[in-house]
Structures are given as structure tokens and as C-alpha cells.
Amino acid sequence: MVKVTLKDGSIREYPVNTTLIEIAKDISPGLARVALAGEVNGEVVDIRTPIKEDIKLNFLTFDDDGGKLAFWHTSTHIMAQAVTRLFPEVKLAIGPAIENGFYYDFDVERPFTPEDLEAIEKEMKKIIKENYEIENFTLPREEAFELVEKNGEIYKEELIRDLPDEESLSFYKQGEFTDLCAGPHIPTTGRVKAFKLLSIAGAYWRGNEKNKMLQRIYGISYPKKSQLDEYLHRLEEAKKRDHRKLGRELDLFSIQEEGPGFPFFHPNGMIIRNTLEDFWRKEHEKAGYLEIKTPIILNKELWQRSGHWDHYQENMYFTEIDGDQYAVKPMNCPGGMLVYKTKMHSYRDLPLRMGELGLVHRHELSGALHGLMRVRNFTQDDAHLYMTPDQIKEEIIGIIELTDKIYNIFGFKYHVELSTRPENSMGSDEDWDKAIMALREALEEKGVEYRINEGDGAFYGPKIDFHLEDSIGRTWQCGTIQLDFQMPEKFDLTYVGADGEKHRPAMVHRTIFGSIERFIGILTEHFAGAFPLWISPVQVKILPLAEKHHDYAKKIYDSFREKVIRVDVDYRNEKIGYKIREAQMQKIPYMIIIGDKEVESNQLSLRSRSEGDLGTIAVDDFIDRALKEIKEKKY
């Protein structure tokens, strides 16, 4: 018998090789109906997994990330099965679950069409109705290779060849369809009640542009139709909020053929950008940060010393100066450390907080570029903090508090992840354990709920990531706090301690916006282009009814400009209804209508973007109202 400790702390005993689904049925038939996967000792596993020793067990439903993983993984197999029925010559590549749904890559003779998607959906419905049991089996490595070779699956053959240490390999079977797969999967195809194939895209095999271009089909699925309907509604809302579309309509930015991945900011976009940067500077000055600026191009030797040459070279741009190799910086940190080294520091100088709005360049594949969200040059709101070991927890808490303050100003909710050591990391186990513990203690002292993201840290240290949730429920990774014991060693950073001896400082890398460009894209979609007054490129639009009202409109315009309120006047000879509609389309927060009554009474007729007609108001009263709203950064 083995002991199973459940999430509520209760302990049950079962015979060896009892499966998780059998345990679920024993606990409750209702649990067995909704359980999609299991979490055994912290690892997500298939619901059919047999237990062979004492374990801690948590059952996962669609409400859990692990449950969604199994559900969407099964959905991608249903799609692949449908494709193999309709296109018998297809070659299967890979088909994972992703953050929102699933995809599968196919090698087919011709590109898929929207009509093909309809046919595939129809075949998927048959497979779901047939309610196949999903069976897992393993084969010795040679037999596994023979099976995929017999089926002509050239991509699966390559995958097996690249797994030299695996003695046996896992497969999943449903009906006539079998796929090389580690799982997890749900018990039957019939549990996928609602799905939709969303789009077709090209994708290079294994993400390498030198490999063959495959056809990728994206999809989404849910246990209930109402959940699918809600998701599709959010998707439509997301299309309306697409920052690329709004960027054109509101004249914020453009991407030109002459610079793919390199955004051009227009005057309206620059107002938003400068407003955010001014806000960033004021908040950081209040928090005790000093601002620096480091060069964009630096010598190869620096990047070798930092480790970027070995760990990040494929994402960098290079040039030659006076016969020596240089790199365009993909990160700000090495330059920041050179600034630290320009003078000797005492323990009395620490903590030292240095911030930089630094322009970096990173090579992204053309297929990955996406408006302001994925670009090849962007400005990081970086900061590097240097401290004594006993100051680490207090400094990380300070960053958490500053990050929380800034996100709250924009109305963002967020969740936090603690990312641990990746495979290609530098440094000793002792340093990594110490760094992870320091981040964990800071989060727990602040009472911040967090989840562990195993193996997703930077190559030089663990990190805390902040994932923002926007107004339609999407999440965006923005802020990060990375604790680093490696770079101070590589750059020989020191300070003189109270004992008169040299010591190595601890170092923290952190961002809050993450990237100014991407943050503007996120804000544009979060607010659907209707920016709060303090960010809005044009805060007030004055709409005179006729030419005789122009002089009064100009007088009001000058009053607003004097008080640094961003204002524009629509002097065109158009009907007032047309002018209001256009200002509304431009998402101007306030419209002021000027006619005979307003000129005679020396007042304004005020209209709000969100509330409509607000009646008449004195000029000074509106100025006070607007300035108060700007100062308080209301959203």
C-alpha cells in the first residue's frame, strides 16, 4: 500500500499501481467527472498515471493551469487526427498546448484555406462525438523510431534522434491516431465540448528560418460552450483594441518598410512617451534613484566579460570600428556596471540605485514582430541597484512597493511569478540557492502571493516577474526584479566595508514598464485608445459653432496653453454634430462647445468623452477641474 496526501491534508492508502483517475472516483464521482490531470509532488501528470510510492496529490480541473494544459493538449491531438483523415499525405510536426489554446504544425503540399478549417472543424466534431478513450503507452527507443519511420513521420524521426538519453518514449493513441507525445492528456475526446479553429500561420520547423516553412493552425477549446462564447467575445474586443489599428487611427506610431521592427513615433505618440518618461523620472527621484545614460555601442570584450557573447550572441547586432569588433547593446547592465566602477565606493554609499531609460537592440525573427509588442529596438526602464548582503531583502521590498504604486496608477491588477535557475545558467548552486531564498523572503514578508516558474530565471540569477492583467483579462509580463551574484564577480565590483576591506556588492536588475514601447502598446489596448486625461495627447478640443466664435475660442485656447493643458481648436466650417463625432472618434477626453451663449456669459459648454453633456462651466472652474484630474492621474 502507498500513502496519498491530498490537498486538504487528509491521507488515504491505495494499492501500488492504482491510477489517479481511480483515486478520483474513490473520493467522489463528481471529482472524477471534472478532474483533467493530477499534480503529483508538484509535477503535472496524466490522470491515468499509476502511483508506485507515497505521494502528495492535487487533482487539476479546467480552472487550473495544469488542467488547461491537458485539455488543450488533447484538443490539438483531435485537430491533428482530423487533419490526417482529410489530408492523408500530411506530415506531423509538433502540437503543444500554449497559454491560450493550442496549435499544431503540419507539412502539407499546399497552404490551408479558411474552407479547409471549416472541414477540419467538422471532422473534429465527429472525433469528439466518437468519444475515443485516450491511451498512453511507451516503446523502447528503437521500436519508437521504427513506428514513426513506418508511418513516414520524418519530423518525429528527427525529434527521437535528438533525444539520445531516452531509453523509452511515450505515445498517445485515440482511435486510429497515434502520436509521439509526453502528455498529459484528458481521459476521452468526448470531454472537449466546445472549440474553434482561429487562424493559420506559417512557422519554420523548430523556429529556425533555415528550415522548411510549415503550416500552423491555432485553436481554442473549452468544457462549456458558454466559456467559448465568452472567449470569442473577448477576442473580438481585442481586435477593436488592437494597438496597431489604434496607433494608425490616433496617429501614435508607424512601422515603415525601411525599418521592420523599428518603430517610428509620431507627435501624438511622443506626447504619451514623454509623459510616461517624465512620470518615471519623478517617481524614481522620489524613491532615491540616480539617472545615468550609457552608450548604445560597446566593445566585444565587454560582452564577453558579461556572458552575453556566449549566452545571447544570436540576438545581437554587430559592427566594426577601427578594426575592432563592437556590439549594439541588447542589455543596459554591462554599461551600468562600468559607471559603478568609475570610482571607489564605501559601504556608506550603499544601497546605490541607478536608473536608465536605455535604448537596446535585439534581433527578432521577422515572423515574431508585432507592432510595439515585439520590436527590434526598444527603451528599457532599467535600474541597477548595488547593496551589501544585509540590504538585499529591504531593497527588493522597496522595488516591490514602487512597482505596485506605479501599476495601481494605471489601474492594473497583476500576479507575480518567481522564476528559478535555467539550464544555461552561470554560478554555483550555493549562490543560486541564496538568491532564490532572498527573493522568496521579500515576497513573503510583503505578503505577496506568487507562483513558482521553474527554470525560467535569467542565466545570471533568479527573478520576480510581474504579469499585468488588462481591462479584458489578458496578461502581459512587464516588470521584473533579478537578483545577481554573477555580474559583480565578472566585473570585479567592490565596496570598502566598515572593516576597511574590499567586499563584493550584491546587485539587482529591475524594470517596471519593461519596455516603454511595449507599455504604450499595452496601455493603448487596455484603455482602447481612450487614455486618461493626464496621458492623452490632446486633452481638450475646442469646437466653435461659427467663424464669429473663433476669437473667443482662441482666447480660451491661450488660457489653457498657459496652464499647460494640451488643447486643440477645430476651426473648420462643419456642423457641430460632425465635429463632436470626430472628436469622439479621436477619443479626446473633453470637448468644449463655443456659441453665442458661451461668448456672452464668458463660460464654456462642456462635454465629456465618457459622460456626454456636462452643461456649462466657468473657464477657471474647468481649468481647476482639469488640472486636479491631471495631478491625481485619474483613470
- pLDDT single digits (tens) 591-603: 999 999 999 999 9
Q: What is the pLDDT of residues 469-512, one digit of tens each?
A: 888 888 888 999 998 888 898 899 999 999 999 999 999 999 99
Q: Find, among 467, 458, 436, 443, the residue nearest to 333 by Cα.
A: 458
For 32-41, 159-168, 328-337, 616-625, which range has the lowest pLDDT when averaged over its residues?
A: 159-168
Phi, then psi, of 569 in degrees rounded to 5 = -125, 135
**Nearest 10 degrees: Cα torsion 346, 348, 349, 353:** 130
CB-count exposure of residue 366 (10 Å: 0-12, 13-18, 19+)? exposed
How far are the Cα atoms of 163, 245, 254, 467, 624 from residue 357, in angstroms, in the given order? Answer: 43, 27, 21, 21, 32
Domain boundaries, the chain: 2-61, 66-239, 253-294+342-526, 540-632
Residue 465 CB neighbour total at 10 angstroms: 21
- Report which DSSP code applies to 265: E
CATH fold label, 66-239: Threonyl-tRNA Synthetase; Chain A, domain 2 (3.30.980)
Query: Taking 90 as the threshold, does the pLDDT of residue 424 lie above it?
Result: no
CB neighbour list of residue 606: distance below 8 Å, 6 or more residues apart: 590, 591, 592, 593, 613, 614, 615, 616, 617, 622
pLDDT at 161: 87
Cell output for 331? 542589455
The pLDDT confidence band at residue 359, using thresholds 50, 70 and 90, is very high
At residue 404, what are phi and psi to the nearest 5 degrees? Answer: -60, -40
Taking CA atoms, 150 is separated from 104, 156, 185, 318, 515, in Å, by: 21, 11, 25, 46, 49
In angstroms, the CA 316 to CA 321 distance is 16
Q: Which range (213-217, 307-311, 394-398) has the least confidence?
A: 307-311
DSSP 91-137: EE----EETTEEEEEEE-SS---HHHHHHHHHHHHHHHHHT-B-EEE
Q: For Cα atoms 93, 99, 105, give the angle at the middle one, nearest 5 degrees.
A: 15
- Report pLDDT digits (tens) over 528-586: 999 999 999 999 999 999 999 999 999 999 999 999 999 999 999 999 999 999 999 99
Name the β-bridge partners of 612.
608
DSSP tag of 194: E
CB 160 within 8 A of CB 144: yes
The domain 253-294+342-526 having CATH identifier 3.30.930.10: the answer here is yes
pLDDT over 90 at 238, yes or no: no
Cross-sheet strand order for the sheet of 352-361 = 290-291, 352-361, 377-387, 506-511, 475-484, 463-469, 413-419, 450-453
Neighbours of 217 (CB within 10 A): 24
Spell out the residues 6+ positions from residue 618 whose beta carbon is closer than 8 angstroms to its own.
602, 603, 604
Determine contact, residues 31/12, Cβ cutoff 8 Å: no
Q: Residue 462: phi, psi to the nearest 5?
A: -70, 170
The mean pLDDT of 125-148, rounded to a whole number, is 92
- The whole-model pTM stands at 0.80
Active site residues: 333, 362, 380, 382, 384, 463, 509
pLDDT tier at 84 (50, 70, 90 boundaries)? Answer: very high
CA distance 54 to 1: 9
Helix/strand number for the chain, H first, E second: 20, 33
Instruction: Specify the pLDDT at position 425.
Output: 80
pLDDT at 92: 94
Lowest-pLDDT range, 40-54, 108-122, 378-392, 587-601?
40-54
| CB-CB contact of 629 with 533 (8 Å) | yes
The CATH architecture that domain 2-61 belongs to is Roll (3.10)
Q: How far is CA 266 from CA 251, 319, 366, 423, 585, in A?
A: 6, 29, 23, 42, 18
CATH topology of domain 540-632: Rossmann fold (3.40.50)
DSSP 8-class letter at 182: -
What is the mean predicted confidence (pLDDT) over 439-447? Answer: 92
The pLDDT score that the predictor gives to residue 185 is: 94
What pLDDT, on the 0 to 100 scale, is given for residue 9? 87
Over residues 210-229, mean pLDDT? 94
Tell me the mean pLDDT in the region 625-629: 96
